[in-house]
Amino acid sequence: MRLTAVGLCCHRGGRDVFTDVNFALSSGELLVVTGRNGVGKSSLLRTIVGLVRAASGRLVLDGANSELTIAEQAHYLGHQDALKASLSVLENLRFWAEFLGAVRTDVRPALDAVGLEELADLPAAYLSAGQRRRLSIARLVAVKRPLWLLDEPTSTLDAAALECLAGLMQAHMTEGGLIVAATHTDIGLSATHELRLDRAVAHPIASATVRDGGAL
């Protein structure tokens, strides 16, 4: 499986967020997107899943189910946790598993994987920020999808949870999954590719360079 972006441009709110982004990512590889605040890391991830329309450019996921869109084969872990405060931890996770069409509807193993099994019956309103984050990560484990798009996955996580996340990401890549992660911090895994989004202050138009790309 291979995710390729060619000449991707994004135009939002009357300005170019990024222009001419190119990358290619194969099974078992991790692309880390870095760059300053507001440089378009989140917009890039949202463009890949179609939540933001690309102004131009091409995105292809080869070797996947051709009847499904990229978004339908991807997990998107955004800034928001997509949790309902009045539902319990288990109900929240079970809803997403059912809604996203998990083959297996028993979600407890996914809760175990993120270390929330003891809080299964607690309403999500009582979770801390880090626990909420872990619960939304459990969604990625409960439903199998080949492509993971992680937007600042490490925010609010403690050291143990960081290690747990790195383990889950490693396991996903070992199974042949693809991961695109936008982050400021070290996620504890060696990135196969790094995409650095830059915008020089003097120029209103962003440029992107692939460092250690190799795949292009």
Partner 1 sequence: MTPLAAVLFRDMRIAVRVGGGALMGVLFFLVVVTLVPFAVGPDLALLKRIGPAILWLAALLASLLALDRLFAVDHEDGSLDLILMSRAPLELVVAAKGIAHWLTTGLPLIIAAPLIGLFLNLDASAEAALVVTLFVGTPALTFIGLIGAAIAVALRRGGLLVAVIVLPLTVPVLIFGVAAANAAAVGPVPFGTPFTILCALTLASLVVGPFAAAAALRQEIE
Out of 60, 68, 129, 216, the residue judged to bind partner 1 by CB under 8 A: 68
The rounded radius of gyration (Å) of the Cα atoms in the chain is: 17
Of 171, 203, 161, 215, nearest to 18 by C-alpha is 203
Tokens for 56, please give them. 């131009």
| Nearer of residues 15 and 99 to partner 1, judged by Cβ | 99
C-alpha span between 88 and 122 (Å, rounded): 5
The minimum distance between CB 202 and partner 1, in angstroms, equals: 28
Under rule CB under 8 A, residue 82 binds partner 1: yes
What's 150's DSSP letter?
E
Out of 100, 120, 162, 189, the residue judged to bind partner 1 by CB under 8 A: 100
The owner of tokens 């070290």 is 186
Residues with Cβ within 8 Å of 186's Cβ and at least 6 positions away in sequence, in order, are none
Under rule CB under 8 A, residue 74 binds partner 1: yes
Under rule CB under 8 A, residue 86 binds partner 1: yes
Under rule CB under 8 A, residue 81 binds partner 1: yes
Q: Which residues contact partner 1 (rule: CB under 8 A)?
A: 12, 46, 49-53, 68, 71-72, 74, 76, 78-87, 91, 95-96, 98-101, 105
